[in-house]
């Protein structure tokens, strides 16, 4: 079954979604950006978060969890090998099994229609910011000077929406339902979520074999995983 999931994400608070790599930037935690320097959301970041949520959900539904599926992502050594692999590795892949779904990067929707030169004007209205953060020494419970760091954040105008696409091929509707339930369970993305960064709301639409399918009905089918 061909699966297409379309996402529209609006952020309620500024976000810091990085690449996880040290980039040339004055910030210690720079934003991930596309070739035109627009902050974007790497598909791999969203995929990792959704995988984690799906795992949490399915482990609550399948009880007891089969012994063959002792799977501890993201450590490759502890993930499913062989033919009997867990539903999460089936969908999201493991070092030994290709992923059956692809998460594209989420990009600013307005830019899909506008040429990159307009980004400068847009950037003037809503530039990225640097936020100072203080590292806490957990043992001593005090802030330390050398743990000062800066986080680059972006607060998109409410009219700016990120859009993304997830596509792939899944065998059963309950796999799609799990994927959607996982997506719905991600309230925020990026770093410093507990301090209020990166809270979003997500609009989801789905096509199965090219046919629009109501998301709320489909999501109910996650219950079919119950044993
Ligand atoms: Zn697994």
pTM score of the predicted model: 0.84
Q: Provide the CB-side half-sphere exposure for 67 (13 A, CA).
A: 0
- Give the integer Cα–Cα distance in Å for 133 and 25: 16
Ligand 1 geometric centre to CA of 178 (Å): 15
User: What is the 65 CA–ligand 1 centroid distance (Å)?
Assistant: 12
Question: How much distance in Å is there from the Cα of 54 to the middle of ligand 1?
Answer: 12
The pLDDT tens digits for 38-52 are 899 999 999 999 999
**pLDDT (0 to 100) of residue 151:** 84
DSSP, residue by residue, 128-158: -EEEEEEEEETTTTEEEEEEEEEEEEB---T
CA of 100 relative to ligand 1 center, distance in Å: 13
What's the CA-to-centroid distance between 53 and ligand 1, angstroms? Answer: 14
Strand partners, 7: 164, 204
**What does the pLDDT profile of the chain (227 residues) look like in tens digits?**
999 999 999 998 889 998 766 555 667 788 898 887 889 999 999 999 999 999 999 999 998 888 888 888 778 888 888 788 999 999 999 888 899 999 999 998 764 455 445 555 554 445 678 877 766 666 666 555 556 778 888 887 776 789 999 999 999 999 999 999 999 999 999 888 888 889 998 999 999 999 999 999 999 999 999 86
Residue 180 contacts residue 58 (beta carbons within 8 Å)? no
């Amino acid at each position: 079954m061909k699966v297409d999931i379309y996402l529209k994400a609006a952020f309620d608070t500024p976000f810091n979604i990085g690449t996880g790599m040290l980039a040339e930037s004055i910030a210690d935690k720079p934003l991930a950006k596309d070739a035109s320097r627009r902050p974007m959301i790497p598909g791999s970041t969203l995929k990792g978060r959704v995988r984690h949520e799906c795992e949490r959900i399915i482990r609550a539904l399948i009880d007891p969890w089969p012994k063959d599926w002792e799977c501890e992502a993201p450590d490759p050594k502890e993930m499913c090998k062989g033919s009997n692999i867990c539903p999460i590795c089936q969908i999201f892949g493991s070092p030994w099994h290709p992923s059956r779904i692809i998460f594209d990067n989420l990009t600013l929707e307005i830019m899909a229609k506008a040429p990159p030169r307009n980004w400068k004007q847009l950037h003037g209205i809503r530039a990225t910011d640097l936020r100072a953060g203080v590292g806490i020494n957990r043992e001593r419970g005090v802030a330390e000077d050398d743990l000062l760091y800066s986080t680059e954040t972006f607060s998109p105008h409410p009219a700016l929406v990120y859009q993304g696409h997830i596509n792939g091929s899944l065998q059963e509707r309950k796999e799609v339902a799990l994927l959607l339930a996982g997506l719905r369970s991600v309230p925020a993305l990026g770093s410093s979520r507990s301090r209020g960064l990166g809270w979003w709301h997500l609009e989801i639409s789905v096509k199965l074999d090219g046919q629009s399918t109501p998301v709320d009905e489909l999501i109910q089918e996650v219950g079919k995983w119950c044993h």
